[in-house]
Structure 1
Amino acid sequence: MQNPSAAGPAPRTRLARLGALIARHPRTWIVAWAVVAITCFAVAVGGVTGESLFERLHSGAPTVESESSRAQEVIAESQPALETLTMQVTGADLADAATVAAGTAATREVAQVPGVKSVRSPLLAPGGVTDPSVAPLLKGGTPTAGGFVTVVDFAPGLDKAAQDAAETQAEARLLGVATAMHAQGSVGSTSKVIEAITTTVERDLLRGEGIALPLTFVVMFFVFGGFVAAGMPIVGAVVSIGGALLSLFGFSHVVELDATVVNIVTLLGLGLSIDYGLLTVSRFREELAHREHDVPTRAEIAHAAERTVATAGRTVLFSGLTVAIALAGLLIFEASIMRAIGVAGVSVVLVAMVVAITLVPALCVVGAKRLSRKAVEKPSDVGLFSRLAVGVQRRPVAVILGVVVVLVTLALPTLSMKLTSSGTELLPKDAPQRVFFEQLDRDYPALSAPEVTVVARTADTAAVTAWSQQFRSRPGVEGLVVRPLGSGDQRVDIRVAGRPTSDEAQDLVTTIRATSAPFETLTTGQAAGQIDFLDSMSARAPYAVALVVLGTFVLLFLMTGSVVLPVKALLLNVISLGAALGVVVWIFQEGHLEGLLGFTSVGALESMVPFLVLAFGFGLSMDYEVFLLSRIVEFHRHGAGNDRAVSLGLQRTGRIITSAALLIVIVFGGFVAGDILIIKEMGVALVAAVVIDATLVRMLLVPATMTVLGRWNWWAPAPMRRLHDRFGITE
C-alpha cells in the first residue's frame, strides 16, 4: 500500500492550487485577515457605527404566529402596553402621618418627570393608605405590613433616548420616596430584566473566552510541543469570533436578536475554529516531516502547504459544510430566534472553515522554520489507536452490543423530558432583578400577569362570565376575573398555582381550547405561548430533519463514494445525541449536580434546548465523523483493505480527534461556568455529546460497525458510482 502523504506531487485540484497560492503570498493573507478581524471587532463590539451588538440585544420567550400571538395582538390594540417602572418599599411605617406625608410629597415629584404618564401608589389614593381600592398595592393587602409598591407608567411613543432619560429620572425619584420614608426601596422593570440578561450574557462571553482560550493554548502547547504551533489555531479562533460577532451584528438589524444567541453561536464558532486549526496545523507538521533537509526549503514548505490545503482543507470543507447543513435545518422553523441562530450559526461555521483553509496555512508557512525546529516523528502505522482498532475488530459484535446498551441507558431520561420557557429564571437565583420579581409575585400577587388569559370576541359580558365559570374548579386554578376590552371584546384572566408554564397551566390551556363556546375565543399567556411554540416546532421538525439528513447524505456520499457509510453515520449520530440529551435531562430537569454546576433546577429544560442540541450536536458529531472517515477513505483509495484502512485511519486521526474533543470540552466548559441557565444547559449538552461521540462512538462503535459491514462499507449502486466518479470530491 502506498503512503498517501508520500504519494508524490499532490493532484492539482482547486484546493491544491489554493494551497500553492497561499504558500507564495502568506503575509498578504495574514494582513488581509488582520484587517478583517479588526474591522469585525470594531463594528460589532466597539460600536464605531454608533451602536454595538450588545446594545441591540433583546430577551423574551420564543414566539410564533399562533392563537396566543393573535390574542396578544387583540389585547395590544385595545389596551396598548405601556413601559412601566415598579418600586417595592419595605420597612415603611404607614401608620405614622409624618412618614406618609413625606412619602406622598416625594411621590408627587415622580409624576413631574418628563415622559411619565401616571403614577399608581397607595400614597396618592383619595382615602390614603387605608383606601380599599389600593389594597392590591399594599403588602398583604394591609398597611400594617409596612410594604407597598408604586408603579410608574410612561407615555407611549417615546424614542429610546427620551425613554431612557425618563426611566433614569423616575428611578432616582422613586428611590427618593423610600429614603424620605426612612425605608428600603428596590426598582424593577422589563427593560431592567433585559438589561440584566444582556449584561450577564456579555460577562459570560468574556468569562467563557477568558477561561477557554488560555486553557486551550496550554493543551495545544502539549499537543504540538511548542508555542508557535499552539498559537496558530488560537489566532484562527479569534478571527472567527470576530466574524461571528459581525454576522450577528448584521442580523440584529433584520430581526430582534435574543441575548442568548450571541453566546450560543460564539460557543460553536470558537470550538469549531480551534478544531479546524488543530487539524490544519497537525497535517502541515505531518507533511513537513517528510522533508529532506534539516531546515525546510521554500519548495518543501510550499509542498507541505499545498498538501495540507488539499487534504486537511478538504476535510475541513466537508466538515464545515456538514455542520452548516445541520444548522441550516433551524431555518425551517417558524420562530425567529431559531432562524436567527441558524443564520448566525451557518455564518460562523463558514467563517471558521475559510479561516482554517486560508489564514491558518498562511501562518504555518510563515512559521514553518520555527515549526520544524521541534522534531516531529513521521506518522506511524502502529500505535495506541491502531491497537485499539485491532482489538475492537476481534470482537466487533460484542463491542456494538455493549456500547449500544450504554448509550440507550444514558438516553432513558429523555422519556420523561419536560420543557419550559423561563423569564427571570434565566438569571442566577441571587440576581437583583430575579429577586425583585420573585418577591413581587409573592407579596403582590394581584399585580403579576395572569398565567392564562382568554380573549372572548363578544360584547356579551354575561355570556362570557357564565361560560368561564366551568374553569374555576380546574386543578390549580386560584382565581378568575372577567373584564371588558376597549374593542368591545372581553378578557378572562385566570390565575393558576405554580410556575406560569406548569403542567396545570398547560392542561388548563388545552382544556379551554377544546371547550366549545358561543363566541370566538383566543387563549394566551406563557403556557399557551409555549404550547404554540412546541406545536410549531413539531410541525416543522420533519422537514428540518429531511433537509439535514438529505444534505448530510449527499455530502458524505460525495466524499466516500458509498451509500452505506453515510447511512451508518446518520444512525450512530442519532443514538449518541439521544444519550447526550438524556444526560442533560438527568442533570437539569431532575436537579442533579446543582451545587457543582451552580444552578437551580426548574424541573424542566428550556424549550429551545432539545432542538438546538440536536442541530449543534449533530453538526459536531458529523465533524468528527468526517475527520475519521476522510483518512479511512484516503487509505482505502490507496490500496488498503477495509479493516486495515479502518485501523490506519483511527491511528492517524485518533490523537487529533481526542485532542479536538478535549479542546471542545474546555471551550464549552468555559461557558458552563456562566450564569445564564440556557447557556449552561447548552454547554453541558454539547460537552456530553462531544465526550460520548469522541470516545464511545468514534473509538469503538465506528470501527466495530465498519468491521461487521466489511466490503459493504464501500457499496453503491452502479449509477451512483458513476455519479461519484463525475462529481465526487477527492484530493
Structure 2
Amino acid sequence: MLAALARTATRRPKTVILVWLFLLVAGLGFGTRVFGDLTSSVEDVPGSESVVAAERLDELTPHGDDFNAVLSAPAVDTPQLRERVGAAIADVRKQPGIAQVPDPYTTRGLVSADGKALLIPVTLKSGLDDDAEEEVTGDAADRLREISPGDVAVSGGPLLGEQMGGRAQEDVARAELITLPAVLVVLLLIFGGLRAAALPLLVTVSGVAGAFLTLYGFSQFTDISVYAVQIVTMLGLGLAVDYALLMVIRFREERRKTAERGRPGDVARAVHATVAHAGRTVLFSGLTVAISLSGLVWFPSPFLRSMGLAASAVVVVDMLAALTLLPALLALFGGRIAPAGTKSRTRRRPWSTRGSGPAPEPGAFFARLALFSARRPLAVATTVVAVLTLLALPALGMRINIGDARQLPHDTEARRLYDTVREHYPAGAGTDPVQVLIGAGADPGAEAGMRALPGVRAAESERLSDGTVLLELTPKGSVDGPAATRIVEQVRDLRGEEPVKVTGNAASLVDFRSMLAERAPWAVLTVLVALFALLFAFTGSLLLPLRTLATTLLSLGAALGVVVWVFQDGHLAGLLGGEGLGALSLTAPPLIIAIAFGLAMDYELFILSRMRETWLETGDHRAATIEGLRRSGRVVSCAALLLAIVFGGFMTGGFAPILQIGLGLTLAVLIDATLVRMFLVPATMTLLGRRAWWAPARMRGLHERYGLREDAPVPDGPVLVGQGGDQAVREVRQAPPSP
C-alpha cells in the first residue's frame, strides 16, 4: 500500500495536489459553516432518568426555554429607567414566540436589595423549531440590550449556546493567527530554509481544512459541541505538523543517502524511501491515535461519541495528507530542498549546530542522554517513575461538574450576567433547582420528606396538568456542586417504589458520572487490546507493547494530576487566565485521556521505528536503544515543541474547558517527550535487554505473516551504526550487561 502511494505521488504529483486543493477549498468554504450548528449541551445521556424526566416535563409544561437579562446601574429605580425598561418589556411581549416577561419592578426578588441591579426573565413559548427560537431569542435580546443608561447583559437558555459558539469561532481564529506564524518560525529554525519549512505548513493548512469539513459532515447527522471546533482543530493542526515534520526530516536524510551513492538528483528514490520508512511510522501513528480516540465511541453520550468520531476522522485526514499530499509536493519541489547535513542557502548552518568549533555529530546530544540512562537504568527508571507518580497524585481527588458561566472569560456577556447576579443578589439566586416529578398516586409524605433533605435552601411545588407534582429543590452552593448532587442521590434513595423521577443539571451530572463509571472500563479495555495488537504488528515483540502502554499511562497520569492541581485546586490558575473552580469540566478528563494517550503513542512509535531499524540491521539491543534515540530524538523534541505551540495558542481564549484541555495536552506532550522518551524509555529498554524484542514462536509466525514490516536482512560482519553517536554506541557495547 505504501509503495503504491509513493508511486502515485511521484508519477502524478500534480493530480494529487489538485485533489487536495479541491478539498482545501471545500473545507474552508463549506466546512466553516459548522460554526452555525453548534450546541453547548454536553451532559445529556440518552435514556437516562434525567433525560426521560426532562422530556416528560417539557410535555407537561406550557412554556419553553427561558433566558435572562440583567441591568446594572447606580440606581435602577429612577423614573427614566422605569420608563425605558417598561417600553422594552412591552416590545418584547408583543413578539411572536414570547410566552411571558414579568414586570421586574412589581415581581418579588427581581430588583436587587441594594437597588443597583434589575433582573428580567424572558420565557419562550413551547413548540418552537430551532430557526424560530433563534430568531425570536435574538430579536428579544437585541431589544433588551437597547435599555439605557446602564449596562445590560443577556444570556442563558438558547442564547448561551450561541454565545459559546461565537466565542469558539473567535478563539479558533485567534489561535490560528498566533499559531501558524509561530509554527513557521520554529520550522525555519529547525530546517534552516524556507522551502523545507513551508511544506509542513501546507500540510497543516490542509489538515485544518479537513478538520472543518469533517465537523461539517458530522453536523448533518449529529449534534456538534462548541468544544469540538477547538479540540478537533487543535488536534488536526498539531498532528499535521508532527507527521509532516517526520516525513520532511526523513526525506532530507534519504536525499543525503542518494547523494552519497552518486545520485544527487534522484528525488523519486528519496520519496519512495521516505514513504517506506517514515510513512510506515505515520501510518501506524495515525492508527494508534485514531484507536485511542475511538474509545470515546463506547460512551452513549452524543457529545463524547461525536467527538470520538470527528477527532478520529481528522487524524485519518492528517495521516492521508502526510502520505499523499506531502510526497507529491516533495516529488515536485524536493530537488530544491537541501539534503541533511548540507549547508542551507539561507543560513550557513542550522541553528542547532552553530558555534565557534566544528559542527557536532547529528543526534549526539540524544545519544548521550540514552547512554546516561543505559549506564544506570535502574536508578533512572526509579527516579522518573517516582516523579511521575508524585505529579499524578492530585488526579486521585479529581472531581467533574457541568460548570457555569465562570468557565467563560470575564469579558463575555454570559459571564458579566453571572458576575452581576452573584454581586447584587443573595447567595443561590439564579441557581437552577433540582426538579423532582412526583407522579399521581405517590405517598403524600414523600414530598415532605424531600423538602426536609439536608442541603435544600428552598423548595417550591406546583401541580401540572396530569396531576404530577413538580417539586423544585434549590440546593445550597452551585447548580452542580456537592450539595446539589447529594440531593439527587438522596431523593432517588428515598423514593423507593414511588413514581418519582429527578431531572435538572445536577441530575444530569449524576447520570453522566454513572455512565462514565459503567462504560469507561470497557472503553479502556478495548483501546488497550487494540493498541497492543497494533504495537505488536509494528514491533513483532510481546514485551514492547506492554512496556509502551505502562510508560504512556504514567505520563498521562502526571499531566492529568497537574491539571487537577491547577484548575480544580486553584494553584497558579490565574497565570493561565483561569481560576480554581473546585472541579474540572466534565468534558476535559475524557478528552485529555483519549487525545494525550494517542499523542504519547505517537512519539513512542517515532522512537521505536528507529530502534527497530537498527535492531534489524545489527541484532544488538544496546546499539538499537542508543541509535534509535539518536536518530529520532530531534524529531520527537521538535514535534513536541511544535505541538506545545499549537496547544498553547488555543489557550489564549480563556474558555475554562479549553484551558484545561490545552494545559493537559501541552503537559502530556512535554512530559512524554522529555522524561519518558529521553530517560525512561532507554532505561527500561536497557533493563529488558534482548528480551525487549522477544515474542513466542507462534506470535513471531503471526507477525511474519500478517505484520506490516520492512524486510532488512542482517548483514554479515561488523556494522557501522551511523556517524552521529558512534562513540556512545561503542561505550554502551562495552558497558557491563544490564540486570
Q: Do both share a fold (TM > 0.5)?
A: yes
Give how far 1:527 is off: 1.9
The partner residue of 2:568 within 583, 589, 611 is 589
CA contact (8 A) 2:443 2:498 kept: no
In structure 2, which of residues 93, 108, 128 is the aligned counterpart of residue 111 of structure 1? Answer: 93
Tell me what 1:410 maps to.
Answer: 391
2:66 corresponding residue in structure 1: 84
> Aligned in 2, Cα 1:442/1:403: closer, same or farther, shift over 3 Å?
same
Q: Which amino acid aligns with 1:237?
A: T
How do 1:592-631 residues align onto structure 2 when only pairs under 5 Å count? 592-631=571-610
Cα distance in 2 for partners of 1:99, 1:41 equals 46
Cα 1:109–1:689 change in 2 (3 A) is: closer
User: What is the letter of the counterpart of residue 510 of structure 1?
Assistant: E
| Deviation, structure 1 residue 451 | 3.2
Structure-to-structure mapping, 1:650-665, within 5 angstroms: 650-665=629-644
CA offsets 1:300-339 (integer angstroms, 9 cap, x no match): 1111011001111000001100111100111001111101
Aligned ranges 1:528-677 → 2 under 5 Å: 528-677=507-656
SS of alignment partner, residue 643 of structure 1: helix
Q: CA RMSD in A?
A: 2.5
TM-score if structure 2 supplies the norm length? 0.89
Which residue of the partner structure matches residue 504 of structure 1?
483
Structure 2: distance between partners of 1:95 and 1:241: 52
Classify 1:171/1:574 alpha carbon distance in 2 versus 1 (closer, same or farther; 3 Å): closer
Deviations 1:210-265 (A, max 9, x none): 22111111111111111010111111011011111111111111111111111111
Aligned residue for 2:452, secondary structure, equals helix
Taking a change above 3 Å as real, the CA distance of residues 109 and 221 of structure 1, as seen in their structure-2 partners, is: closer
Inter-CA distance 163–470: structure 2 relative to 1 (3 Å threshold):
closer
Cα deviation, residue 649, structure 1:
0.6
**Is contact 2:431–2:479 with CA below 8 Å preserved after alignment?**
no
Residue from 438, 447, 472 that aligns with 1:465: 447
Amino acid of the residue matched to residue 492 of structure 2? R
Deviations 1:479-506 (A, max 9, x none): 1223222231112211112111111222
Task: Supply the distance in 2 between the matched residues of 1:368 and 1:99 (Cα, whole angstroms).
Answer: 70
CA contact (8 A) 2:606 2:632 kept: yes
Q: 2:162 aligned to 188, 195, 199, which one?
A: 195
Residue 448 of structure 1 aligns to a residue whose secondary structure is coil
**Which residue is equivalent to 1:6?**
none
Distance (whole Å) between structure 1 residues aligned to residue 411 and residue 84 of structure 2: 32
Deviations 1:363-412 (A, max 9, x none): 12222221037853899687121222122111111111111111111111
Residue matched to 1:145: 115
Shift of 1:96: 6.8
Are 2:372 and 1:391 aligned?
yes
Aligned to 2:303: 337
Query: What corresponds to 1:3 in structure 2?
Result: none
Using a 3 Å threshold, how does the CA distance of structure 1 residues 515 and 241 change in structure 2: closer, same or farther? Answer: same
Q: For the Cα contact (< 8 Å) 2:252–2:340, is it kept in 1? A: no
Is the Cα contact below 8 Å between 1:465 and 1:482 reproduced in 2?
Answer: no
Structure 1 SS opposite 2:337: helix
Alignment-mate amino acid for residue 710 of structure 1: G
The answer to whether the 8 A contact 2:191-2:197 is kept is yes
Distance in 2 between the 1:391 and 1:103 partners?
73
2:233 matched to which residue of 1? 266
CA distance in structure 2 between the partners assigned to 1:192 and 1:379 by the alignment: 59
Q: Which residue is equivalent to 1:325?
A: 291
Q: 1:406-435: per-residue Cα shift (whole Å, max 9, x none)?
A: 111111111221211113222113322222
Partner of 2:418: 437
Specify the SS of the correspondent of 1:117: strand
Residue by residue over 1:121-161, the C-alpha shift from the partner in whole angstroms, topping out at 9 and shown as x without a partner, is 146xxxxx3xxxx2133333xxx836543333333344455
Cα distance in 1 between the residues matched to 2:331 and 2:255: 10
**TM-score of the superposed pair, with normalisation by structure 1:** 0.90
Question: How far does residue 162 in structure 1 lie from its aligned partner after superposition?
Answer: 4.1
- Contact 1:482 / 1:491 at 8 angstroms: preserved in 2? yes
- 2:464 & 2:361 partners in 1: Cα distance? 77
* Compared CA separation, residues 485 and 379, structure 1 to 2 (3 A): farther
Task: Pick which of 88-97 and 448-457 moved more.
Answer: 88-97
Q: Deviations over 1:430-473 (max 9, x none)?
A: 322222134346656697354322211225684343332431xx
Q: Distance in 2 between matches of 1:511 and 1:437?
A: 28
Q: Is the 8 A contact 1:461 1:490 kept in 2?
A: no
Question: Residue 728 of structure 1 corresponds to which residue in structure 2?
Answer: 707
Per-residue CA shift, 1:182-231, capped at 9, x if unaligned?
A: 66544334232222211111111111112211111111111111101011
Q: Is the 8 A contact 1:44 1:249 kept in 2?
A: yes
Q: Give the corresponding residue for 2:137.
A: 167
**Which whole-Å CA distance do the structure 1 matches of 2:78 and 2:363 have between them?**
87
What is residue 7 of structure 1 aligned with on the other side?
none
Aligned counterparts of 1:469 and 1:683: Cα–Cα separation in 2:
42
Matched AA of 1:558: A
What does 1:198-213 correspond to in 2, within 5 Å? Answer: 198-213=165-180
Q: Classify 1:145/1:562 alpha carbon distance in 2 versus 1 (closer, same or farther; 3 Å).
A: same
Aligned amino acid, residue 35 of structure 2: F
Distance 2:520 2:442 in 1: 41
TM-superposed deviation, 1:631? 1.0
The CA distance in 2 between the partners of 1:404 and 1:243, in whole Å, is 38
Q: 1:238 aligns with which of 187, 195, 205?
A: 205
Deviation, 1:508, is 2.1
Percent identity (aligned)? 38
Q: Which runs of no fewer than 5 residues in structure 1 stay unpaired?
A: 1-13, 46-51, 124-128
Q: Which runs of 5+ in 2 are unaligned?
A: 344-358, 711-739
**Contact 2:253 2:340 (C-alpha < 8 Å) held by counterparts:** no
Q: How many residues of Structure 1 are paired with residues of Structure 2 in the alignment? A: 693
Please tell me the residue identity of whatever aligns with 2:232. V
